[in-house]
């Protein structure tokens, strides 16, 4: 391996310590409410992880678990109650929701000032305009990794593979706001390998194990693997074939231990940002 390893676990731990020290200096404890509908096991793990991390950082975390049969009306009423609760600075509704509930309606019901996931159309619009306030946590985490590793972004060619609202699109907007020249690739992109080979920064957010291989990577490029895929044997792996890409890249994230830990750390950061803005 010739690439520098981007240790997301260590970088996230430092960011969480930084958030904790900001919270300690605030004189109040920002409140984060995490809403889960139903009992999907993966969602339950994510909610517990967020809850624990928030408490460790000195936030007041509360998780609300609503039954799987919750109606759209009841869920919207819960969000309205949290919107009005002055002690709640951040609201996060764990996705995916059970079928029959509209994620769009739910996200649009959240007060944009408390939208710590950064999914509300107002926050998406601000990000698209290049003046993000609450940006989605995973792409924000990627930017933090690039900054920490001193990867030059301004003027660099970046490719984001994947165009979801949660990762790909906001990732491209953040890179563009940082003055990269950005290509967004997706399932209809022609000759994806050639597109990737031109890039100084490759961000993979696809959900296909090992899709991006070393022969797609320009020597010295930075490779960020957002993908989290569970293999048949239970192991987690990314969208990047780590061995072949690490032999060519200048820097690379592992999976697990790369982007994943940054997402929760950036959620804490967004909650502190929301609290400070709301309370002046
Ligand atoms: P989505 O399924 O919503 O989006 C996947 C994207 O990949 C789509 O835009 C799709 O294109 C594109 N795509 C699919 N196949 C190909 C292909 N063969 N070539 C090029 N592009 C392709 O996934 P998410 O964005 O939600 O997640 C992506 C990955 O990131 C997943 O592995 C997920 O688990 C992981 N993830 C990790 C997080 C973390 O904290 N590290 C947080 C969130 C997600 P099209 O639009 O044309 O269909």
Contact between 263 and 137 (Cβ < 8 Å): yes
Nearest atom in ligand 1 to 161's CA: 21
Q: How big is the chain, counted in residues?
A: 280
Q: What is the pLDDT of residue 163?
A: 98
46-76 pLDDT, tens digit each: 999 999 999 999 999 999 999 999 999 999 9
Tell me how far the alpha carbon of residue 74 lies from the centroid of ligand 1, in angstroms: 31
Cβ atoms of residues 261 and 142 within 8 Å: no
The predicted pLDDT at position 280 comes to 81
Coil, strand or helix: which one is 136? coil
Using only the alpha carbons of the chain, give its radius of gyration: 19
CA 210 to centroid of ligand 1, rounded, Å: 13
Nearest to 38 by CA among 4, 75, 1: 75
pTM, to two decimals? 0.97
Centre of ligand 1 to C-alpha 83, Å, is: 31
Q: Is 36 an active-site residue? A: no
Q: Whose CA is nearest to atom 5 of ligand 1?
A: 206
Question: Using CA atoms, how far apart are residues 6 and 150, in angstroms rounded to an integer?
Answer: 11
**pLDDT computed for residue 28 by the predictor:** 95
Q: Compute the distance from residue 166 Cα to the ligand 1 centre, in Å.
A: 9
The encoded tokens of residue 182 equal 């950005």
In the chain the domains, ranked by start, together with CATH numbers, are 29-111 (3.40.50.10860), 136-260 (3.40.50.720)
Q: Please tell me which residue in 89, 111, 115, 117 is annotated as part of the active site.
A: 117
Contact at 8 Å (CB) between 196 and 202? yes
pLDDT at 143: 98
Catalytic, 179? Answer: no
**C-alpha to C-alpha distance for 52 and 148, rounded to whole angstroms:** 25
- Written as tens digits, the pLDDT of the chain (280 aa) is 689 999 999 999 999 999 999 999 999 999 999 999 999 999 999 999 999 999 999 999 999 999 999 999 999 999 999 999 999 999 999 999 999 999 999 999 999 999 999 999 999 999 999 999 999 999 999 999 999 999 999 999 999 999 999 999 999 999 999 999 999 999 999 999 999 999 999 999 999 999 999 999 999 999 999 999 999 999 999 999 999 999 999 999 999 999 999 999 999 999 999 999 999 8
Beta bridge pairs of residue 202: 159, 223
Q: Whose CA is nearest to atom 39 of ligand 1?
A: 260
**What pLDDT, on a 0 to 100 scale, did the predictor assign at position 2?**
87
**Where does ligand 1 bind, in terms of residues with CB under 6 Å?**
138, 161-164, 166-168, 185-189, 192, 205-208, 226-229, 259-260, 263
50 is catalytic: yes
């Amino acid at each position: 391996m010739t690439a520098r390893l981007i240790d997301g676990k260590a970088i996230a731990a430092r960011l969480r310590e930084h958030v904790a020290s900001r919270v300690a200096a605030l004189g109040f404890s920002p409140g984060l409410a995490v809403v889960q509908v139903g009992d999907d096991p993966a969602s339950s793990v994510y909610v517990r992880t967020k809850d624990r991390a928030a408490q460790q950082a000195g936030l007041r975390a509360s998780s609300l678990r609503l039954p799987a049969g919750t109606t759209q009306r009841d869920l919207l009423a819960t969000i309205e109650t949290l919107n009005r609760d002055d002690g709640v600075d951040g609201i996060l509704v764990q996705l995916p929701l059970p079928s029959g509930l509209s994620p769009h309606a739910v996200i649009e019901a959240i007060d944009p000032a408390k939208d710590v996931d950064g999914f509300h159309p107002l926050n998406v619009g601000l990000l698209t305009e290049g003046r993000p306030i609450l940006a989605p946590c995973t792409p924000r985490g990627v930017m933090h990794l690039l900054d920490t590793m001193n990867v030059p972004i301004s003027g660099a060619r970046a490719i984001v593979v994947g165009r979801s609202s949660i990762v790909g699109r906001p990732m491209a907007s953040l890179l563009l706001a940082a003055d990269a020249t950005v290509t967004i690739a997706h399932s209809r992109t022609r000759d994806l390998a050639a597109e990737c080979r031109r890039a100084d920064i490759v961000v993979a957010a696809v959900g296909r194990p090992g899709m991006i291989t070393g022969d797609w990577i320009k020597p010295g490029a930075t490779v960020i693997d957002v993908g989290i895929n569970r293999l048949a044997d239970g192991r987690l792996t990314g969208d990047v074939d780590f061995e072949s890409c690490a032999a060519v890249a200048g820097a690379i994230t592992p999976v697990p231990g790369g982007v994943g830990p940054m997402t929760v750390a950036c959620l804490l950061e967004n909650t502190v940002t929301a609290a400070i803005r709301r309370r002046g």
